[in-house]
Amino acid sequence: MSDTLGTGRLRGRRILITGAASGIGKATAHLFAAEGAALTLLDRNADALAAVARDTGGHACAADITDEASVARAVEQGAAAMGGIDGLVNAAGIMKRGSVLEVDVAEWRRVLDINLTGTYIVVRCCLPWLMKASNATIVNLGSGQSLLPNAPERTAYSASKGGVLNLTRALAAELAPAGIRANTICPGLVDTPMAEGVQGNFGNYALRRLAQPVEIANAILFLTSPESSYVTGSALAVDGGRSFH
């Protein structure tokens, strides 16, 4: 189990986390385990995922989120292991840097396929379980680029994360009658492998530093916990002041 101190805020919850082998997804898995949640962890990196599962007591399911059949199998396994699913965190994603002329259509499609379509597939596969649960939650990972897409060489990434933001808003409206809340976290630069090569590019951040993955995980925890029971359709900027500075 995680050695992070917790207060049991997610005791009894059954939560599926994608992208759980590293970065924000891994930090979220450790935090949620410490807060008492049962976990199903998805990632393409089976070896790294197994290590996180051992540390958190989670159920590891190696899966490609762009493959609906793969995701459906993982979700069924996770639901069986946990006795259902009442929370989802979509943290899996990639970033492709390059100008419009440098990023070809195949690379563009890959970014959208993973970041946007992959998020949709996971939600779709989890939804039958979420609809059976009480007070179910969905938290999708957008980006500061969802709110202010002004960083150079991020066109494909910005488009995909802007899509995640509006997908989540549409889900919030559609699923509210079923009691399911859906929200987006919009991080700025985070100290993860995805930020390699751009760690020093935070001059337009009010706090003048990168975030640590656990800082984003704490925001995800808030939107998954009962403390945010009247919050749905929101886009929470966790970006060190990037979106207003």
Residues annotated as part of the active site: 157
Radius of gyration of the chain (CA): 17
Phi, psi at residue 152, to the nearest 5°? -70, 155
HSE value, Cβ hemisphere, 13 Å, CA-based, for 79: 19
Is the sign of the CA dihedral 56, 58, 64, 68 positive or negative? Answer: negative
- Judging by beta carbons within 10 Å of its beta carbon (0-12, 13-18, 19+), is residue 153 exposed, middle or buried? middle
- Judging by beta carbons within 10 Å of its beta carbon (0-12, 13-18, 19+), is residue 50 exposed, middle or buried? middle
HSE value, Cβ hemisphere, 13 Å, CA-based, for 174: 11
d(CA 210, CA 126): 32
Compute CA 42 distance to the chain's CA centroid, rounded to the nearest angstrom. 11
Residue 98's SS3 state is strand
HSE value, Cβ hemisphere, 13 Å, CA-based, for 122: 37
CA dist 215 → 42, 53, 72 (Å): 21, 21, 30
Q: How far apart are the first and last CA of the chain?
A: 39
